[in-house]
Amino acid sequence: MPKAAQPDLADAVAAEMPATYEAALSELETLVGQLESGQMPLDHLLTGYQRGAVLLAFCRDKLKAVEDQIQVLDGGQLKPWSGA
């Protein structure tokens, strides 16, 4: 019976993706704080960890897309960041 619940858990974790990178990062930071607190029940820890993995992949994909766009704008080469 627990194996039948696994696909539903995965669907729930990935069901709603954040609208923006910033929203995903904010949710991820909140989730990490909750996970590190040690106050979550085991089943919530698993769900939280899985949701965190989804959010992390979302953020990495967004950053990669921006990096690829910058590379195109810079003529195929990434230049060092000189910002403050």
Per DSSP, the residues of the chain read -HHHHHHHHHHHHHSS--SSHHHHHHHHHHHHHHHHHT-S-HHHHHHHHHHHHHHHHHHHHHHHHHHHHHHHHTTT-PPPP---
Rounded mean pLDDT, 38-56: 91
pLDDT digits (tens, 9 = 90+) for 59-70: 999 999 998 888
What's the predicted TM-score (pTM) here? Answer: 0.70
* Residue 77 confidence (pLDDT) above 80: no
pLDDT given for residue 59 in this prediction: 96
Please name the helix (run of DSSP H) or strand (run of DSSP E) that holds residue 22, with its range, or none.
helix 21-37
Q: Which two tokens stand for residue 44?
A: 């919530």
CB 13, CB 51: distance < 8 Å? yes
